[in-house]
Every structure is written in structure tokens, then in C-alpha cells.
């Protein structure tokens, strides 16, 4: 029998990343890597893959097709050491659709509603999620620290946030006061009397 391992949500700025193990007969195992565990995501991916393969009854005569993402590099090497036949490549459209669907369900649990996935990439979705973060600051606990944001998206985020602080926060009126509010040395320098210029 052939098994496939795929992930979804790695490029999304919010919510868990989903890892699926799918057998060719349609049975599947789904696991999630929480956003706060993003720094240990490779270890979690190994655990989900091994538990999923064992639960679906993978044996020594079976082949495991693992998607090409670097998330599964360690899993592929550990499974190969255990004698599992590993192939790296593109998974079937069914496995990919299953992973994307599970990711959108996990994201709906975080947000409270199902966000529309209008395009294949995460750029449009991430812009919509940034707007949601601005309206609902409590969602920051679901922010993925491991997502590398491209420079053009970073520039857009700066423009998006510039001049408009998130709800519930207050920005200092001028840079000197802002520095004094955050840096104790800035407060000491601001309180020091100016030297006589005469």
C-alpha cells in the first residue's frame, strides 16, 4: 500500500499547521502543530507522521510518499533509518485537498468563522488575517513566530500599521515621550535640564 504525508498552513501567519498522513484507500490521520510550537515544528511533524503511519497500519512492504517541503526532512531520514521505503515528491491532489481543507477548518476554530481561500498562495489570506489581527488583538496568541514574511509583505504591513495603532493600545504623542515611556535612560535624559548656551 502507498501512504502520503502532506502539510498545509506553513505559510499562514495565524493558527496551527496541519500534517496529514493519507493511505491510498482514503483513510487518513490528521495532526496539528500549534502556532506556539512553531519553533519545534520538525519534531512535531516526525511525531505526527510516525503515529499516523502506525495507526493506519503501514508495514515494511509499503511506500511512503512525503511532500518536498523541508518540514519533513528529519521525518524522512528517521523513517528511512527504520527501513521504511521513502519517496519525496508531489503528493496526489486528494492528499493536498485534504490537508488544505483541514487547515481551513483549524483556522476557522481560531477565528470563529471560515476565512475564504481565494487563491492558492497565502498572500491574500495573510493580508485579510492582518486586518483581523488589527480588529481583534486577542488573536496575537495564535501568531506563528516561524513564518518568514517576505520583504514586500513586511513593507505592506508597515504601511498598514503606520499611524494606526491596534485597538486597545495608546501611542505616545512624540518620539521623545515614546522613548521615555519605554527606555529608562530616555526618561533620565529628558528630565535633565538643558545646558546654558550663553
Express each pLDDT in 116-174 by its tens digit.
Answer: 776 667 788 888 888 888 888 888 888 886 555 554 555 555 555 554 444 444 444 44
The predicted model scores a pTM of: 0.71
Q: Quickly state the pLDDT bin for 184 (edges 50, 70, 90).
A: low
Express each pLDDT in 15-70 by its tens digit.
Answer: 899 999 999 999 999 999 988 776 688 899 999 999 999 999 998 889 999 999 88
Residue 75: strand, helix, or coil: helix
47, with CB counted inside 10 A (0-12, 13-18, 19+), is middle
Residues contacting residue 131 through CB under 8 Å, at least 6 positions apart? 160
- Which domains are seen in the chain, by residue range? 2-111 (3.30.420.10)
The arithmetic mean of pLDDT across residues 179-188, rounded, is: 52
Amino acid at each position: 500500500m502507498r501512504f502520503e504525508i502532506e502539510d498545509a498552513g506553513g505559510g499562514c501567519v495565524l493558527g496551527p499547521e496541519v500534517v496529514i498522513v493519507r493511505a491510498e484507500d482514503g483513510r487518513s490521520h490528521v495532526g496539528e502543530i500549534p502556532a506556539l510550537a512553531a519553533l519545534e515544528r520538525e519534531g512535531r511533524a516526525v511525531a505526527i507522521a510516525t503515529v499516523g503511519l502506525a495507526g493506519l497500519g503501514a508495514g515494511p512492504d509499503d511506500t511512503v510518499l512525503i511532500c518536498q517541503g523541508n518540514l519533513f526532512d528529519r521525518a524522512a531520514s528517521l523513517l528511512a533509518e527504520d527501513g521504511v521505503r521513502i519517496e519525496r515528491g508531489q503528493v496526489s491532489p486528494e492528499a493536498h485537498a485534504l490537508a488544505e481543507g483541514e487547515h481551513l477548518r483549524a483556522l476557522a476554530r481560531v477565528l470563529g468563522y471560515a476565512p475564504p481561500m481565494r487563491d492558492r498562495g497565502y498572500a491574500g489570506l495573510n493580508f485579510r488575517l492582518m486586518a483581523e489581527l488589527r480588529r481583534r488583538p486577542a488573536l496575537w496568541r495564535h501568531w506563528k513566530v516561524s513564518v518568514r514574511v517576505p520583504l514586500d509583505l513586511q513593507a505592506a504591513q508597515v504601511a498598514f500599521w503606520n499611524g494606526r495603532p491596534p485597538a486597545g493600545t495608546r501611542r505616545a504623542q512624540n518620539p521623545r515621550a515614546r522613548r521615555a515611556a519605554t527606555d529608562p535612560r530616555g526618561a533620565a535624559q529628558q528630565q535633565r535640564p538643558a545646558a546654558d548656551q550663553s
